[in-house]
Structure formats: C-alpha cells, structure tokens
A = this chain, B = another copy of it.
Amino acid sequence: MPKRDLESNVVSLQHSAQLADFKVGVDNVIFSVDIEQNRLLILLILRQEPPFSDRWSLPGTLVRNGESLEDAAHRSLSEKVQVQNLYLEQLYSFGGPGRDPREAPESFGDRYLSVSYFALVSHSEAQFIAEGAKKGAKKIAWHEVGQLPELAFDHREIINYGYMRLKNKLEYSPIAFEVLPQKFTLNDLYQFYETVLGQNFSDYSNFRTRLLKLGFLLDTGHKASRGAGRPASLYRFDAIAFEPLKNKPLVFV
C-alpha cells in the first residue's frame, strides 16, 4: 500500500521514505486520594528490564489491533489494579523523536508515541492484582506525589501534566464523586479537596455553605459517627441536579 498524505491524499513518492512508523503506547497517570491520611498517591511500577531497569515508571501498554486508545488504557489499568469506580480521560500525547531509547538512532526502526491517560480511582476500593501471576513478580506501589522517586523515560513530565489536570478537574468537575463512597460527609469531601489542592485552599465553613448552596448534594438523612463529636450528616451526589452547573467552578483556590 503506497503511503499517502493524510490531507491531500496525493501519493507522495518523494516523501515515502521519510514517513515515520510508530508503535503507540498508553501510559496511565493513576491518582488515588487517601482522605484518612491526607495523601495524594500515584500508582507506579518498578521496571525490571532495560531501558531504565530498576526505575519506577507509569503503568502502560502498547495498543493492539482492533483496540481503541481508551480500551488500551482501561486494559492496562485493570491488569494492575482492581477497582469498581474510576474516572478516566485522555491527557496528552508525547511523541518527540528520541523520547524512548529503544528508538534506533537515525531514521530506522519504529518510533514510540505515548498517549497518556489520566485516571482517578477509589483508594479504599482499589486492590492490587495478585503479583507474579504472569511472568516475573512486578513491584507495584502507591507513591505520594510529594515524594516521587526518579522515573523512567519522560514519565516525570507526564505526571506533572497529569497533576495539573487533576487540580483543574477538581475545581470544575464532579470527579470526586466518582471515587468517594455513595454516602459521604461534607468533611470527607473537604479532606478530599484539601489533599489534592493543598492546605488552606478554602475555609471549611465557607466550603460547606458554597457546596450546599449549589444544590447537588442531597442529605440522605443518615448520620455518620466518627467516635467523638457530633455525628455528621451523610450526603449523596445528585447527577441530575448537577447538570446545569457543568463547567462552572465548584470551589475557588
């Protein structure tokens, strides 16, 4: 099959040799919020083969025939961790030449393009898939964003981009409710936001009034008792009531 120009579709013989062939991979930046201990976590995997042997890296996989990019991202994720509730969206594509050392030095062999995905999973729910079930036992672990080890490839850059996206998403989208339990207290929600956006992102009392006034948090009538103190009301997220608020900021930083 002769190679064609995407736009003009003119058979471009003179450029034929210059066109790059790609393997396309997906890399997942998987976040998880531990509201008990106020830790924002990222899932990393310890590489066991070169290049970057013994370095931590983002979980990923190469895209197979007949598989969409998002399918591949889902597959990669579900191979590492078992979780019911999650949010997943595309992040960015990193495809500069030379980003993967496996690319041959000069115009030979395939290039590697990484389409990165951003995921948020429930921390309490997420279970690691039994290690060593496949080839060699892989080391897989949650790492706190503030204390990341040295990473393989350009994964540090991808994580930075993903972290930015997470903070933006949280301000404008109800993704927190994808991974919080069905019923939660306003304090749970506040801890979630504080863990991601940093301390003093907002006064707790003002956070409460703002969120409640928006009208998409419904009091279930049930109470949660955390030992000492007055029991907190349990709320649930009402997706219908949220509809008109799409793209409006939920909190301010």
A76 touches which of B7, B102, B107 (Cβ 8 Å) = B7
Nearest to A18 among chain B residues (CB) is B64
| A90 in the interface (beta carbon within 8 A) | yes
Interface size of A by CB at 8 A reads: 59
Contacts of A15 in B (CB 8 A): 64
Which of A7, A109, A113 neighbours the largest number of chain B CB atoms within 10 Å of its CB?
A7
Nearest to A100 among chain B residues (CB) is B6
Which of A53-61, A179-187, A228-236 lies at the interface?
Answer: A53-61
- The A interface, classified by DSSP as helix, strand, loop or mixed, is loop
Interface bits A105-127 vs B (CB < 8 Å: 1, else 0): 01101111111000000000000
Nearest to A59 among chain B residues (CB) is B7
Q: Is the CB of B23 within 8 A of A21?
A: yes
Tell me how far the C-beta of A53 lies from the nearest C-beta in chain B, rounded to whole angstroms: 8
Query: Given the interface contacts A93-B115, A95-B115, does A60 sit within 8 Å of B20 by beta carbon?
Result: no
Which of A44-52, A143-151, A199-207, A210-218 lies at the interface?
Answer: A44-52
Q: Is the CB of A57 within 8 A of B20?
A: no
Count of chain copies = 2
Query: Given the interface contacts A22-B21, A62-B6, does A96 sit within 8 Å of B109 by beta carbon?
Result: no
Contacts of A47 in B (CB 8 A): 7-9
Contacts of A227 in B (CB 8 A): none
The complex places the Cα of A59 from the Cα of B8 at a distance, in Å, of 8
| A74 in the interface (beta carbon within 8 A) | no
A97 touches which of B48, B68, B90 (Cβ 8 Å) = B68
Q: Give 5 A-B pairs besides A7-B27, A9-B51 with Cβ atoms closer than 8 angstroms.
A: A6-B25, A8-B45, A20-B24, A20-B67, A113-B113
Q: 6 closest pairs, A vs B, by CB?
A: A6-B25, A9-B49, A22-B22, A68-B96, A65-B107, A18-B64
